[in-house]
Amino acid sequence: MEDLLTTDFWTKLLSSATDWAIKELPGIIIMVIALIIILRVARFSISRLKKTLIRKAEKNETVDNAEAEKRIDTLTSIMLGAVRIVLYTVFIIMLLGKFGIDIGPLLASAGILGLAVGFGAQELVRDYISGFFMLLEDQVRAGDVAIINGTGGLVETIGLRTISLRDFSGTVHIFQNGKISSLSNMTKDWSAMLFDI
């Protein structure tokens, strides 16, 4: 009797797994292929946009090409990161639906959780807003030599939340954008070396 129950259990499990694979698996495979294609199209489009913007900057004689290229690099890398986050979020939500998980309550609880996190993450929001305006106003770019909060060095990466700066001894410093109280860009538009003898 026990062998019959075990056999019946495995038969039902195999049957339901086969039904799920026939109904849902092709949709999941199509979603994965679509995600890969959309990511490649987004990467290609942003790369083309970058090349177009660099060409326009080279034609404009009033703009320094190296400075414009640094700013374009920074903005396009942030744009690509934002597109990836949106695509992965949509993909995960659709994938959960394919596995039979009701995403309605999940989205509602995520909204309430987002509100609670929003109150606790005011500093994070301040970092993102400060980083956005720093990029929009073209205050500093990757490759610039700058002094941030008294620490001087080469700006390696700029994100919406943080700036990474390598000082003259080789140490990397990470600054939250919302906590930057003073920023001096030593290579904005032009630069010079001063020697005190």
pLDDT tens, position by position, 53-104: 888 888 877 766 776 777 787 778 878 888 898 899 889 888 888 777 777 7
pLDDT at residue 153, rounded to an integer: 93
Q: Is the dihedral of CA 74, 80, 83, 88 positive or negative?
A: negative
pLDDT score for 120: 64
- Mean pLDDT value across residues 161-190: 89
**8 A C-beta contact, residue 138 and residue 70:** no
Instruction: Give per-residue pLDDT as tens, 5-62.
Output: 577 777 887 887 787 777 778 888 888 999 999 999 999 999 999 899 888 888 877 7
Q: Residue 168 — very low, low, confident or very high, per pLDDT cuts 50/70/90?
A: confident
The residue that leads in pLDDT, 7 or 143, is: 143
Pick 42 or 120 by higher pLDDT. Answer: 42
Phi, psi dihedral angles at 14 (to 5 degrees): -65, -40
Beta bridge partners of 174: 164
In the block, residue with structure tokens 């320094």? 64
Which of 14 and 164 is assigned the larger pLDDT?
164
CA distances to 74, 120, 171 from 52, in Å? 15, 41, 35
**pLDDT confidence of residue 142:** 81
Q: What are phi and psi of 55, to 5 degrees?
A: -60, -40
Q: What is the pLDDT of residue 3?
A: 55
Task: Work out the pLDDT band at 117, boundaries 50, 70, 90.
Answer: low
Q: Is 176 helix (H, G, I), strand (E, B) or coil?
A: strand
CB within 8 Å of 16: residues ≥ 6 apart:
none
The residue with tokens 């301040």 is 126
The single-letter DSSP state of residue 167 is E
Q: Does the pLDDT at position 2 exceed 80? A: no
Residues near 180 by beta carbon (within 8 Å), at least 6 away in sequence: 130, 134, 148, 149, 163
* Amino acid 155: pLDDT: 92
Contact 29, 41 (CB under 8 A): no
Type and span of the H or E element at 114:
helix 103-120
Q: What is the mean pLDDT of the chain?
A: 82
Whether residue 4 is predicted with pLDDT greater than 60 in this model: the reply is no
Q: Compute the average pLDDT of residues 135-148.
A: 85
Amino acid at 189: D
d(CA 137, CA 140): 9
How many Å apart are CA 66 and CA 187, to the nearest integer? 11
pTM of the model: 0.60
CB 77 within 8 A of CB 71: no
